[in-house]
Amino acid sequence: MWRPTFTILRKVVLPHYNEKSSFSKLFYSTKSRFPRSTAKLTLISASVGILVGAGYGGYTHYKINVKKPLKATEVEEYVLLKEAPKYQAQYRVVNDSDNSNLELVLFQYRTCPFCCKVRSYLDARGINYEVVEVDAVLRQAIRWSNYKKVPILLAKVDGGYQQLLDSTAIISMLETYLRDKSYQLSDIVKFYPATRFVNDSGKIATDITNKYFVMNNAPLLDEKQKAAEAEERQWRQWADQVLVHTLSPNVYRTVGEALETFKWFEEVGGWKQSFPAWECALMVYVGAAAMWIISKRLKSRHNIKDDVRQSLYDAANDWMKAIQKKGTPFLGGDKPNLADISVFGVLSSIEGCGAFEDLKTNTSIGQWFQAMKMNMKETSGKHLASYA
Ligand SMILES: N[C@@H](CCC(=O)N[C@@H](CS)C(=O)NCC(=O)O)C(=O)O
């Protein structure tokens, strides 16, 4: 990546040392039009600029190609930690009837749709867990991890702590575990290889193979069950690839809405209890400004309509149509399936925003959302302040 810049560097800088070269003629032709000191200054500025450019190019090259070599699978994300990283839990969720034998810590942003999705799953399955709120600007609480996003779920396993990543993969892995507890989560991650790749923006991204699949050793499914599983996968995918992209342009639609949204994040995320005042202010004001700007880019990247609310309503209507077609309270029938849990989780991330109120007023999704909430209440544990 930085080689072309290096070639330019040689061509421009070397004549400086060898005034008799053909390039020096070029330089001197410039000299005839500018005073020597101006020309010198120009050359020095250009050289410094090029050196900085070359340095940055070299650094980027190093970051992409040397420090983090691209490997197809087996990336360091799944390294087993011998010891738990130091963390300060904000609260824990305790369900006395949890028999999962899991010890989990969720590193999250309270209102990140992917984190909400994981919490919805844990609550729907009545699993105990601790929650660590991560500062979205400084991200100190996940410094220990080489995965730079949330959610990260840390699970105690034999011999250490297993990091699980990607909300959808986390849900599939836990569901696989609950169906057959003879496997440890450190074995189950092997069914879900993590792959690194450079995305369209030139950044290194991680994706997880098989993430929409729940593994099991059950005998072959009949056609009806197969169709139900395929439908569940399809809507889980829709939650990640369609629904989630309608959120940011809606909750950060104007500067005012972005600020209101971040103030709600601060309140429900318990930021004031977890971070000093200056860090809260940084998160609220820098976050709101950044997200207001970014949301405009996200709007065009994901083909959201100019009337952004309409895209949100369209998504909700598509989802409700699928449920109405089934004639049951949930897509999963009388009980929510993983698609219901995922859609609920994603939507719950904007529950305190004006956009969510508008959504309930303008579509019929409110009734399903309320039914999900009631369902979740029956299964989820109690929230207890952290003892840490
Ligand atoms: N595919 C991932 C996406 C996770 C993700 O994008 N999380 C965002 C927060 S909503 C994040 O951590 N972004 C990086 C950052 O904040 O710097 C998942 O489903 O967990």
Domain residue spans of the chain: 80-385
Each residue's pLDDT tens digit, 97-147: 999 999 999 999 999 999 999 999 999 999 999 999 999 888 999 999 989
For ligand 1, is residue 150 a contact (CB within 6 Å)?
yes
**Starting at the edge strand that comes first in sequence, how are the strands of the sheet with 104-108 ordered?**
80-81, 160-165, 152-157, 104-108, 129-133, 91-94, 382-385
DSSP state of 150: S
Which residue of 116, 133, 150, 265 sits with most ligand 1 atoms within 8 Å of its CB, as the best mutation to test the pocket?
150
**CA 138 – ligand 1 centroid, Å:** 14
For ligand 1, is residue 248 a contact (CB within 6 Å)?
no
**pLDDT confidence band for 78 (50 / 70 / 90):** confident
| Ligand 1 atom closest to Cα of residue 117 | 19
**pLDDT confidence band for 196 (50 / 70 / 90):** confident
**From residue 157, how far is each of 103, 169, 351, 383 by CA, in Å?**
8, 18, 34, 24
| Residue nearest atom 11 of ligand 1, based on CA coordinates | 149
Residues 54-63: b if buried by 16+ CB within 10 A, e if exposed: beebbeeeee
Q: What local confidence, expressed as pLDDT, does residue 253 receive? A: 97
- Which is it for strands 91-94 and 382-385: parallel, antiparallel or unpaired? antiparallel
Cα 127–81–178 angle (5° rounding)? 25
Using CA atoms, how far apart are residues 190 and 204, in angstroms rounded to an integer? 21
Q: Is the pLDDT of residue 69 over 50?
A: no
The active-site residue out of 78, 91, 114, 252 is 114
**pLDDT confidence band for 79 (50 / 70 / 90):** confident
The reply to whether 252 belongs to the active site is no
Backbone angles phi, psi at 91, to 5 degrees: -160, 170
For ligand 1, is residue 342 a contact (CB within 6 Å)?
no
Q: Quick one: which H or E segment has residue 255?
A: helix 255-268
Q: What local confidence, expressed as pLDDT, does residue 125 receive? A: 98
The reply to whether 116 belongs to the active site is no
The reply to whether 115 belongs to the active site is yes
Using CA atoms, how far apart are residues 206 and 147, in angstroms rounded to an integer? 8
CATH fold of 80-385: Glutathione S-transferase Yfyf (Class Pi); Chain A, domain 2 (1.20.1050)
Q: What local confidence, expressed as pLDDT, does residue 316 receive? A: 98
pTM for the whole structure: 0.80
**pLDDT confidence band for 30 (50 / 70 / 90):** very low
For ligand 1, is residue 136 a contact (CB within 6 Å)?
yes
| Residue nearest atom 17 of ligand 1, based on CA coordinates | 149
DSSP state of 149: S
Handedness of CA 275, 278, 281, 283 (dihedral sign): negative
Q: Tokens in use for 89? A: 């839990």
Find out whether 306 and 253 touch, Cβ atoms under 8 Å: no
In sequence order, what DSSP letters do the residues of 201-242 get, joined into one string?
TS-EEEEETTTT-----PPPPPHHHHHHHHHHHHHHHHIIII
Find out whether 239 and 341 touch, Cβ atoms under 8 Å: no
Least confident of 19-33, 160-174, 204-218: 19-33
CB atoms within 10 A of CB 91: 19
Using CA atoms, how far apart are residues 345 and 87, in angstroms rounded to an integer? 25
For ligand 1, is residue 291 a contact (CB within 6 Å)?
no
Closest CA to 123 of 98, 143, 145: 98
Strand partners, 80: 162
Least confident of 74-83, 263-272, 296-305, 357-366: 74-83
The reply to whether 112 belongs to the active site is yes
Between 77 and 299, residue with greater pLDDT: 299
Find out whether 93 and 381 touch, Cβ atoms under 8 Å: yes
Find out whether 332 and 368 touch, Cβ atoms under 8 Å: no
Between 23 and 141, residue with greater pLDDT: 141
| Residue nearest atom 20 of ligand 1, based on CA coordinates | 166
**From residue 289, how far is each of 283, 293, 352 by CA, in Å?**
10, 6, 19
